[in-house]
Amino acid sequence: GQNIDQPTEMTATEGAIVQINCTYQTSGFNGLFWYQQHAGEAPTFLSYNVLDGLEEKGRFSSFLSRSKGYSYLLLKELQMKDSASYLCAGTDSNYQLIWGAGTKLIIKP
Amino acid sequence: ETGVTQTPRHLVMGMTNKKSLKCEQHLGHNAMYWYKQSAKKPLELMFVYNFKEQTENNSVPSRFSPECPNSSHLFLHLHTLQPEDSALYLCASSQAGLAESSYNEQFFGPGTRLTVL
């Protein structure tokens, strides 16, 4: 079956670094997305990885290892506004998105 | 501003009511989606429309009925819902439809928070 696993909740301190992991099992693989969703708001696109390696975008970076079926989202210099849920989604052979349940990130002062 | 709007934002309805959710995208996209989001569960894809044609129906109960009159508008008609249908209903759009592109970034609306009493 197809499955995306990510931790349910994480807590970090303002100004610190946090890494949110995601493992995936999909029938075929055509890339992995990360989305951010603040409470009561729409999910918004953060990153897309299809090749192995690290993609850096300001304070946020996303990593992919296709051989390990693994990705992570790295958030640096955490700010209170980064408190949100982070959704991992893999793309299968039919280009359909398979979603994880999301990781709720709590930032403490 | 995501370019995808949804109305209403909140809806409370009884099990015998009939109501409709509306979604509109201003991005010129060709594909539109309905998702159900329940607490601590993955997003559940319900329906996909590509160029106004329904291409996916993920075994959704018939009490949910989608309608796509054009590529910018999408409706979800609701009737005789159950309390377990209470959830956040998200609409999304993308430039390409499924099976067309590996890069299929979806743009989401803010959702309708539905409560069924």
Give pLDDT tens digits for A66-107.
999 999 999 999 999 999 999 999 988 877 889 999 999 999
Nearest to B98 among A4, A40, A94 (CB): A94
> Within a 13 Å sphere around the CA of A98, how many CA atoms are in the beta-carbon half?
22
B110/A44 Cβ within 8 A: no
Q: Is the Cβ of B102 closer than 8 Å to some Cβ of chain A?
A: yes
Are B111 and B8 within 8 A, CB to CB?
no
pLDDT of residue A96: 82
Q: How far is A99 from chain B (nearest CA, A)?
A: 5
Q: Which chain B residue has its CA at the smallest distance from A5's CA?
A: B42
Burial A50-87 (b: 16+ CB within 10 A, else e): eeeeeeeeeebbbbbebeebebbbebeebeeebbbbbb
pLDDT of residue A105: 98
Spatial distance between the Cα atoms of B105 and B8, rounded to a whole number of angstroms: 24
- Picking from A69, A82, A107, A87, the residue whose alpha carbon sits closest to that of residue A8 is A87
Nearest to A96 among B42, B98, B111 (CB): B98
Q: Which of A9, A38, A88, A99 to mutate to test the interface with B (most CBs of B within 10 A)?
A: A99
Query: Which residues of chain A make contact with B4, given a CB cutoff of 8 A?
Result: 42
Spatial distance between the Cα atoms of B103 and A49, rounded to a whole number of angstroms: 9
Nearest to B99 among A31, A33, A95 (CB): A95
pLDDT of residue A29: 86
Q: Is the Cβ of B69 closer than 8 Å to some Cβ of chain A?
A: no
pLDDT of residue A49: 95
A101/B108 Cβ within 8 A: no
- Which residue do the tokens 């594909």 mark? B31
Instruction: Kindly report the backbone phi and psi dihedral angles of residue B23, in degrees, each rounded to the nearest multiple of 5, phi listed first.
Output: -135, 140
Mean pLDDT by 10 residues, chain B (117 residues): 88 92 95 93 91 79 94 95 95 79 83 95
Specify which residues B34 forms β-bridges with.
B47, B91
pLDDT of residue B54: 79
Spatial distance between the Cα atoms of B18 and A10, rounded to a whole number of angstroms: 40
pLDDT, one tens digit per residue, over A17-70 is: 999 999 999 888 889 999 999 998 899 999 999 999 999 999 999 999 999 999
Q: Over A43-89, what HEC string results?
A: CEEEEEECCCEEEEECCEEEEEECCCCEEEEEECCCCHHHCEEEEEE
